[in-house]
Structure 1
Amino acid sequence: MTQTLYEFWTAAAGPGPLEWIAVLTGFACVWLAARESLWNFPVALVSCALYIVVYYRAGLYSDSLLQIMFIVLSLYGWYEWLYGGRSKTELPVSRTRRWEWLATLAFVGAFTAGFGYYLSTRTDAALPHWDSFTTAGSLAAQFLLMRKRLENWWLWIVVDLIYVPILWYKQLYPTSVLYALYLGLAVYGYWEWHRSMRKEQAAQAQSGLSA
């Protein structure tokens, strides 16, 4: 049956402001991360706490669990960005190491197969394997972001492309639109971080010539 405009907006509005607040803080978090602002971490803590409830209510249990992991990674990343560089200095943008790529692929594959099977056989989760894949991809991307690896934005682009139709299917319309906006932010973040990395490399080269 074709959904009426009234039904669409009723579903989009949801039972309360919870999802909309999560959407706004989520967008702010990613924009701040793209700008390399430390404020992305406290904002992320608020957004993730809200999305634990939003995803659980929608039956996306893996994504609800993911928010708890994001909270832990955000606390870790907050420290890393401040003191993860040389001599406890601010962490610069850098390329992803080969072992990190291998570990990322192995983790995403194993988590998708294992947790997807668990969700499909032991719960009433919606889209268990897709849910597990986006969860694993998000965790991998978030870990690389915490380490300020440039290529984290590549992973976010892939994950966001999958999230948009999944969230729309689950009638989480504001969040689906949010992930569509995340695509643009991921491209912007890659461009900003790439520029920052080249600027840092140029400064290091200049410092080496001056020494």
Structure 2
Amino acid sequence: MSLIEILGAVLSALAVWLTSRRSMICWPVSLAAAGLYCWIFLQAHLYADAGLQIAFSLYVIYGWQHWRQMEKHDGRIRVRRPTNRTLVNGMLCGAAGSAVWAFVLARFTNDPTPVTDATLTAYSIVAQCWDTMRYRETWLLWIVVDSAYVALFISRSLYPTAILYAGFVLLATNGYRLWKPDTSARPSSVLPS
């Protein structure tokens, strides 16, 4: 356990809480947390997760701009509904990404759990994409992914991070409860579709 890991955990928890509240400040806090966790995961030889933090940083920049355009008068963002096709294609993209990442990690790194690391990374990217698109279903996917991450981080002795991800499961449950889609909005098929 290090001070950087504790700070990363605190910032990450704050970012998810702010996201569940649909607050724009979630984006700069998320960016700081991603930078810290990139370093933490590199030190733990979780290379896919370190790369995931770089991808998260790019999504944060995109999401920050995208949410800003969709802000309501009260400062919160509009929640959208994806089509069934969008959801299925997101799951298929996650499966394909998992296979590619697992092959790369198993062949070229010393990652002790390449399949788990790759699968959680791929589906985290799908969930982050759904978050930037403002889909309520992002929270359901985060509940599944973060629950699996708890076990992974315990196996790597990253206990503050495991506790953080257990908290993420609770925050994601609350996010799903709070993110009610606009009933007048039509389902959206923005990428991945």
TM-score (norm 2): 0.90
* Structure with the higher helix share, 1 or 2: 1
Aligned residues: 183
Which of 17, 42, 48 is 1:31 aligned to? 17
What is the DSSP-based 3-state SS (H/G/I as helix, E as strand, rest coil) of the residue aligned with 1:19? helix
User: What is the match of residue 148 of structure 1?
Assistant: 134
Deviation, structure 1 residue 126? 2.3
Name which of structure 1's ranges 94-103 and 167-176 shifts more when overlaid on structure 2: 94-103
Report runs of 4+ in structure 1 exceeding 2 Å deviation: none
What is the DSSP-based 3-state SS (H/G/I as helix, E as strand, rest coil) of the residue aligned with 2:179? helix
Distance 1:102 1:85, change over 3 A: farther
- Residues 56-99 of structure 1: CA distance to partner in whole angstroms, max 9, x if unpaired? 1001000000000000001101111111479xx97510212223
Does 1:193 find its partner at 2:188? no
Higher relative CO (Cα under 8 Å, sequence separation at least 6) belongs to 2
CA distance in 1, matches of 2:112, 2:135: 32
CA distance in 1, matches of 2:135, 2:163: 26
What is the DSSP-based 3-state SS (H/G/I as helix, E as strand, rest coil) of the residue aligned with 2:183? helix
Which of 168, 176, 184 is 2:154 aligned to? 168
Distance 1:57 1:116, change over 3 A: same
- Percent identity, please: 32
CA distance in 1, matches of 2:44, 2:34: 15
Deviation, structure 1 residue 122? 1.3
User: What is the match of residue 114 of structure 1?
Assistant: 100
For 2:8, the aligned partner's letter is A
CA distance in 2, matches of 1:114, 1:18: 30
For 1:82, the aligned partner's letter is R
CA distance in 2, matches of 1:133, 1:96: 22
8 A Cα contact 2:18 2:25, kept in partner = yes
User: What is the match of residue 127 of structure 1?
Assistant: 113
Provide structure 1 residue ranges, at least 5 long, that are not aligned to the other structure. Answer: 1-13, 205-211
Which of 62, 78, 85 is 2:48 aligned to? 62
